[in-house]
Each structure stands twice: as structure tokens, then as C-alpha cells.
Structure 1
């Protein structure tokens, strides 16, 4: 059962969506197969004057899918949960790209099972003994879930995602497809050049001297 938080928190707290969801490919209805995480992974920052809150292991953030007006969408038309993956995240104490320390919740494994335009509602809770207290919530911007045929593809990981990965957070890092293609082409060109520079091999396995 959830309880109000006014009697346990005197410090004002605030949630900020530091990295907004933009797009996602429709996830299948299978629980363990064909996960299609939202791109980029939503990142929510906790702001509080009490720095010890950034170390609180009893805080967690719960993500629910809502429509563009903010109304909850718990189930799809097939009566299955509208989201898959990790919808609950704990707090990470990290530094952002400006080297400022803060508390962050990172949703790197959340997928959507319904096509259309949606938002996420992020709700902050705190466990105190045997009770769970609701603290506050925030809505994300609107993002689009595409069908497999219309999905434009995953984007390169953002600087913030890469920065958090460098600090030990387990998130998927995606490179620009054109950059990766150029790297492969460069490697192939180098191999071809090496083959041209090597003298031909004789039948005995030795390189034939070049005049």
C-alpha cells in the first residue's frame, strides 16, 4: 500500500528528465525475446538539498506508460502489459557531462508493446520499514513507437549515455552506422594494400623476390 510522504520528507525534492525518450520499435508480446528498448534510454535526475538522499538505497523510480494527455495505459488491446523490461530503477550517484555530481535513474531496458504516441510517467517512491511512500512524479515528452516496417532505426548513443557508461553503468552503447561502415572499409582497404605490397608466393610456400 502506498502512503503520502509529507510526514517523512521535509526537504523539497524534484525530478528532472535529463534525457527524453524519442522513439522505439514495437516490442513483441514474448517476455524474454525481441526486446526493443526505447531510444535513447530515458534518464531522470533527482534534485534535493540533502546530499545524503543521493545515497539512499530505499529510493526507487517506477515508469508507467501513459497517453499524450497523461492517462495510464496499463494493458494493450491483447490484455498484456503495455511495457516490458525493467520498469523500476534504483538511484545512481554519477557525474554528468559538465562533471556535476547528481542522482540519476537510468531506464536502459524498457520496451513498449503498443504502436503510437506515448509518454512515460516516472513516479518516485521510498521504502520505510514495511511501508512504501510516494514522493513525487514527472511526465516525459511524447515519443513514438513504430511498427517494424516503419521504424527508422536506432540512433548513435548520446554523450550522456556514453558518459554514464564510462562511469560503470551497464547501458548499451551504439556507434554511428556510417562511422562503423567507414572503419570496416578502411580496414579492408588496408588489407588490400598489404596484399598488393606482398610479393607473390611460390609453390614451395616462399615469397618470390621482387625485382
Structure 2
């Protein structure tokens, strides 16, 4: 759901979660490599066709952030729903202020521990886009869905992520039932 007021701010549901998979020479997952604390993932908002960034609205002389929340995530070593350990970057509090269809671009960055950001800016190692999704106005918002099994599994391991145990349709939809 979108809006510019603090009450209108609703997180993207389900929260975006990105897994980093690094394979060794034999094609097997290399968990030692992904346990690097200098990896971060940065997220930006893009148009549905991935042609233009939409994180900020420019309206001279002002600009307004459209993508709100924590735009950078550190790695978390967590077990998935099958009990297999992996490296995940979670974004539980992202929200978007304007209605429309978008995609998120996630950029994996390795920070250099031996230099400051002004000496040598960090470089992007890889980018990946989310599926296209819809942001609704308050009137069109269909309601919250039950949390995914992956979100519930991560929450049980201590990740701070909002959890819902059932679908919650909008009040107007519940009244019709």
C-alpha cells in the first residue's frame, strides 16, 4: 500500500529476501566464501521494464524518496525451510510511496576492509532484479497475506521480520463475507 504519510507506510509483503550462492570449482556451494562480513546488498526501485530507476521523484528544486526503509542489508547465515544453511540478505521494512508496477534491483557489493570509501568506492559484484509487483493505493489494497514459510523459518531463528499467521482481508471485504 502506498502513501506519503507515516500512517500510509506499509512494508512490501512478503518482505524481499535475497540468497547469495557461490559455487566452487566442482559446482558445490561454498559456504566459507559467503561468510564474508564485507558483503552487503543495496536495493533500488526500478520501472516494470527495468529501464529507469524510480527510487526518487525529482521535482525541481526538490526531490522525494519513493523507496523507504533500510536500503542496505548485511548478510545473515540462516537455515532455510529444508534445514540447509545459506547466506541471506533480508529487507523487512521496505515500502513504496507511489502506486504502480515496479521491480527491485538488488546489488551485491563487497566493501574493502583496507580502504575508506573515499579512497576507492566499493564495486558491485552482481545485480539481480525481483519479479514485477504491484503497489496499491489505500482504496485498492487487497489486504495482507499470510507470511511465507521462509519468513516464519527465519523469524524462529531470531531474524527481525514481521510475521502473520493468516490472511487479513481489508475490512470492507470482511464485512461482505
TM-score tier, shorter chain, comes to 0.7 to 0.9
Unaligned runs of 5+ in 1: 1-24, 179-211
In the alignment, the residues of structure 2 paired with residue 29 and residue 63 of structure 1 have an alpha-carbon distance, to the nearest angstrom, of: 22
1:37-186 alignment to 2 at 5 Å? Answer: 37-49=11-23, 50-70=30-50, 71-76=52-57, 79-128=63-112, 129=114, 130=116, 131=120, 132-177=122-167
- More displaced stretch, 54-63 vs 135-144: 54-63
Offset at 1:75?
A: 1.6
Which TM-score applies when normalising by structure 2?
A: 0.80
C-alpha separation in 2, matches of 1:117 and 1:169: 28
CA distance in 2, matches of 1:168, 1:54: 20
Stretches of structure 2 lacking an aligned partner (at least 5 in a row)? 24-29, 169-177
User: Structure 1-normalised TM-score?
Assistant: 0.68
RMSD: 1.7
State the alpha-carbon separation in 1 of the partners of residues 131 and 138 from structure 2.
22
Partner SS state of residue 80, structure 1: strand
Q: Deviations over 1:115-152 (max 9, x none)?
A: 10000000010111224121000000000000001101
Q: Is the 8 A contact 1:36 1:111 kept in 2?
A: yes
Distance 2:20 2:97 in 1: 28
What residue in structure 2 maps to residue 9 of structure 1? Answer: none
C-alpha distance in structure 2 between counterparts of 1:27 and 1:108, whole Å = 18
Q: Number of paired residues?
A: 152
Tell me the residue number matched to 1:12: none
Q: Structure 1, residues 182-204: CA drift from partner, whole Å, max 9, x if none?
A: xxxxxxxxxxxxxxxxxxxxxxx
Structure 1 segments, 4+ long, off by >4 Å, are none
SS at match of 2:65: coil
Q: How does 1:185-196 map to 2 (within 5 A)?
A: none
Retained in 2: the 8 A contact 1:29–1:80?
no
Report deviation, 1:56: 1.2
CA distance in 2, matches of 1:29, 1:138: 30
Deviations 1:138-186 (A, max 9, x none): 00000000000110111111111000001110101112157xxxxxxxx
Match of 1:202 in 2: none
Partner Cα distance (2:124, 2:80) in 1: 26
Report the CA distance between 1:55 and its aligned residue: 1.8
